[in-house]
């Protein structure tokens, strides 16, 4: 129970950080184009509210420059597009809009925060919900937290 609670805390804060980073990246992408080469075959390109992943075909001679490039492009678009993939002889091109990335990150994060907010019944451990009404020690026998018992009203 204790392990599960800790895992949920880590997951919810990781999710919250991912949401903020994605939101920041989305805002930046509206005005700046960022080219992030992963290697000579794979490049991540963020611009116009979307992330584009370009993978050059190993049979083609096309190679990406290994340098990161940031170009101010002025106001582009917000990126309310649908995800799509274009595959051809030279490269595979995947377009993932930031709104979609943000949605798949935000929804589980909100659920995690909501679940972590759950309160247990009076007389139960505030951390794990174990019934402490017959507990005599100062620690919860289930999770080991200090036995802070909610007073019964």
Q: Which stretch binds Zn ion (CB under 5 A): 10-18, 55-63, 109-117, 143-151?
A: 143-151
Burial class (CB in 10 A: 0-12, 13-18, 19+), 86: exposed
Q: How far is the CB of 126 from Zn ion (least distance, A)?
A: 8
User: CA-CA distance, 55 to 11, in Å (whole number)?
Assistant: 30
Q: How far is the CB of 3 from Zn ion (least distance, A)?
A: 12
For Zn ion, the closer CB: 9 or 40: 9
> Contact letters (x/-) for Zn ion, 86-125, by CB under 5 A?
---------------------------------------x
User: CA-CA distance, 40 to 65, in Å (whole number)?
Assistant: 7
Residue 2 — φ and ψ, nearest 5°? -65, -40
Per DSSP, what are the bridge partners of residue 72?
Answer: 32
Which residues contribute to the site for Zn ion (CB under 5 A)? 125, 127-128, 130, 140, 142-143, 145
């Amino acid at each position: 129970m204790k392990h599960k609670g800790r895992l949920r805390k880590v997951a919810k804060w990781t999710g919250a950080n991912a949401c903020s980073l994605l939101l920041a990246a989305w805002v930046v992408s509206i005005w700046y184009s960022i080219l992030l080469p992963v290697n000579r075959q794979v490049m991540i390109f963020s611009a116009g509210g979307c992330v584009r992943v370009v993978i050059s075909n190993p049979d083609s001679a096309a190679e990406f420059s290994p340098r990161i490039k940031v170009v101010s492009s002025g106001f582009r678009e917000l990126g309310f597009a649908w995800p799509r993939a274009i595959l051809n002889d030279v490269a595979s091109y995947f377009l993932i809009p930031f709104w979609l990335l943000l949605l798949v990150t935000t929804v589980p994060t909100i659920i995690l925060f909501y679940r972590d907010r759950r309160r247990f019944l009076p007389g139960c451990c505030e951390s794990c919900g174990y019934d402490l009404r017959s507990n005599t020690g100062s620690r919860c026998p289930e999770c080991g937290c200090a036995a802070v018992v909610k007073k019964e009203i």
